[in-house]
Amino acid sequence: MTASALTSEFLDALGARTCIRVEFYDPTGSRYGFPTFPFRLAPDFLATRRQLRAEGLCPGGYDPVAQILWRHRKQRRVAYLYRRDLARPKRTASPAQLAVIERMLTARRTCGTCGVVRDYYIPRRTGTCLSCETGGRS
């Protein structure tokens, strides 16, 4: 991945034409210490974890190579970017793992007092269903 691959012709031309520096555009990493792009203006060969997950991929153990910075409600937000070409297919759970998960979720819906499996998760604070709670709904 070269520095020229990280530059944006649009943002470079905008800066040259108007002499206005885009706040979160730093493809070389000289200002933020990490290649940085504004919201929605990252190169196509980079993706966030969420974008990789939507494509059925995961970062594959590799560290992020760039970041996206933006402001939201007076806070600076960051999203790390990973290379798509290094991403691997995400792991899938085995049938035994899926069976264990199903049993765990059923246990969360089973009332500790009456033993009925409800269609909602039992509150951990009480450990009983809403019908069995003291003063609960009937």
Say whether pLDDT at 53 is over 80: yes
Reported pTM: 0.64
Reference 90, options 80, 82, 100, 79; nearest CA is 82
What residue has token string 């007076």? 74
Question: Phi and psi for 102 in degrees, rounded to 5?
Answer: -60, -45
What would the pLDDT profile of 78-88 be if each residue is shown by its tens digit?
999 999 999 99
Using left for φ > 0, alpha for ψ between -120 and 50, and beta otherwise, residue 60 falls in left
Q: Are 31 and 70 in contact (CB under 8 A)?
A: no
What's CA 91's distance to the chain center, in Å?
Answer: 16
